[in-house]
Structure 1
Amino acid sequence: MKKLGIFITAVSILSTAIGKENNSHQWKTHGELSYVKTSGNSDTETFATKIETNWKKTVNRLLGKGEFLYGKTDNKENTNKLYLLGRWERLLNERLFGFLQGDYLRDKFSGYDYKTVWSVGFGYDIIKSEKHTLKGLVSIGYTLSQYKEDGSKDYTTGTTELDYKWKIRENLTFKQLLRYDVNLENTDVYFLKSDSSIAVKINAHFSMGVGYKVAYQNKPPTPDVEKTDTTFLTSLIVDF
């Protein structure tokens, strides 16, 4: 209960009196779909999907994200991962904002049944230009992990994140996300995440993209789990 006190304090800070806002708002949705199937000497099948939606209205911004990855080889499942994220941002000035965020991860082959993180923090729009945007976030949160073996554990988490976007050309965009999560009660337990992607526009709504993801955990729950997971995908992208 003591750990949850930071969230009550944060809510009161971020829920300051809302000034007058105009009625203009904007929804943007980004979806990716990838599917690969091979047969012959080895039968493989991989399916991945990602959807992300953003909403902005003067001083409030919402972000929702969902990712699902599934794979099997010779009819044996080897990948089954679901990741969900929701974040509310409240602008405090032109670049500084506070936020509340919830993360949920279910990864069948990482040693966890699930892991959920509830966090509060501050972010800063470090670069805001037509070609480059860079956002930095720092937060403290509460993590609950349910292990496949040896029960569950909860702890306080510190998180740092950088989110970069470069519009190289009118039809070519590069994105890079870096995230670091650490158990503040045992700093030997930490997680690193890198998500790199590049997309080429076909028309106003469709693009083709390639992405490379790296997920690293310094101390997996069981010795038989690899510390590093990598994923390379080619996807059809839809923006509207």
Structure 2
Amino acid sequence: MQIRTALAAVAALLAIAPTAAMADIPGPVRAMIDAALETGDEAKVRTVLDLARQTNPDDAQEIDAILEQFETDLAVKAEAAAEARQLEIKNAGIFENWGGKGELGAFRATGNSSNTGATASISLNREGINWTHKIRGRADYQRNNGVTSREQYSLSYEPNISVSDRLFLYGLAQYERDRFQGFSGRYSFSGGVGYQIVDRPDLKLSAKIGPAYRITEFVAGGSEARIAGLLGVDFDWDITDRLTLTQDTNAVAETGGSATLIVDANNTSLNLVTGLNAKISDSLTTRFSYAVEYDSNPPDGAVGTDTLSRVTLIYGF
């Protein structure tokens, strides 16, 4: 029994010996690793550990163990931060957790008016656990020699609720005013389904479709209400860290309540905006955009297609 016990003790010492040798990382290397770990910078830690592994191959096993522990700590911290964020969102008031951007610049218009002027917009976003709220407002205005030559306003509210990682339901309430296009007010209400077709850090593409109801009040007098269908496409591509291409499309095809109205009184409108954003700083961006607004059946005296080129400065908050 004593011989067996002694053999077991020797075997245990032999098993521990490699670990003890492995733990003998040179002091300067260990100090460098500890300094990198204290920063908490993942890229820096990985670089230092990789260099330490290359210059001290005999200690690779312990260095790998240090990396494994660092990755475990990162995962724990990330999970704790995510849980804290979820709790913060759940307890947030209706006026909390809003972010957005303000935009100010100049435009060049052709179509129902040909001029240059000022443009301003604001967009607000509030992201919840499953809900996203979007508010958008824009104004284009110009006045020459006491005469208004362009006056266009729009305001929209769009709530989205996630059904799955990619599928979502949307609602939309939108107001537009453009006297030069022939309407003093146009109200659109829609709801339907959307899908995130591509969802990558550098590339996002989503589409939505649903029925809509639109009321148009004409400058010349009178109004009309029609059933409609809405199709929307949203595309964002980060070409580089500082350059982003965006493409937003909204098409609304109206139909009347009978086949006659479909033929004689249908009106398809298209709003297509292509933009190129150049990031100046974390909160400041320059934007060049080109918009096409099309109505297949515009009011009398108005043309069907307007274009608008904008150069703006965007401040994110």
| Structure-1 residue corresponding to 2:302 | 225
| Structure-2 residue corresponding to 1:190 | 268
Q: Check 1:24–1:123 CA distance in 2 against 1; reply closer, same or farther (3 A cut).
A: farther
Which of 141, 150, 157 is the equivalent residue of 1:79?
150
Shift of residue 182 of structure 1? 0.7
Shift of residue 63 of structure 1? 0.6
Q: Give, as a single letter, the amino acid of the residue that structure 2 aligns with 1:217.
A: D
Instruction: Check conservation: 1:144, 1:154, Cα contact below 8 A.
Output: yes
| Structure-2 residue corresponding to 1:68 | 139
Which of 100, 104, 108 is the equivalent residue of 1:29?
100
Q: Check 1:196–1:45 CA distance in 2 against 1; reply closer, same or farther (3 A cut).
A: closer
1:40-189 correspondence to structure 2 within 5 Å:
46-185=117-256, 186-187=261-262, 188-189=266-267
Shift of residue 158 of structure 1? 0.3
* Ranges in structure 1 where 5+ consecutive residues have no aligned partner: 1-20, 38-43
- Residues 1:216 and 2:294 are matched in the alignment: yes
Q: Give, as a single letter, the amino acid of the residue that structure 1 aligns with 2:240.
A: R
Q: Name whichever structure is richer in strand by fraction.
A: 1
C-alpha separation between the residues in 2 aligned to 1:194 and 1:177? 6
Instruction: Check conservation: 1:24, 1:57, Cα contact below 8 A.
Output: no
Shift of residue 45 of structure 1? 5.7
C-alpha separation between the residues in 2 aligned to 1:36 and 1:163? 22
Shift of residue 190 of structure 1? 0.6
TM-score by length of 1: 0.84
Instruction: Check conservation: 2:107, 2:308, Cα contact below 8 A.
Output: no
Instruction: Check conservation: 2:207, 2:231, Cα contact below 8 A.
Output: yes
TM-score by length of 2: 0.64
| Structure-2 residue corresponding to 1:12 | none
SS at match of 1:109: helix
Identity over aligned residues, as a percent? Answer: 22
Count of aligned pairs between the two proteins: 213
Shift of residue 35 of structure 1? 3.9
How large is the Cα RMSD of the aligned pairs? 1.9
* Ranges in structure 2 where 5+ consecutive residues have no aligned partner: 1-84, 90-96, 109-114
Q: Name whichever structure is richer in helix by fraction.
A: 2
Residue deviations 1:176-209 (CA, integer Å, cap 9, x gap): 0111101122443110111111111111111111
Instruction: Check conservation: 2:107, 2:310, Cα contact below 8 A.
Output: no
Q: Give, as a single letter, the amino acid of the residue that structure 1 aligns with 2:291.
A: K
Q: Check 1:73–1:226 CA distance in 2 against 1; reply closer, same or farther (3 A cut).
A: farther
Residue deviations 1:58-111 (CA, integer Å, cap 9, x gap): 211101100100123454322100001101111111111112110100111111
Rg bigger for which structure? 2
C-alpha separation between the residues in 2 aligned to 1:175 and 1:27? 22
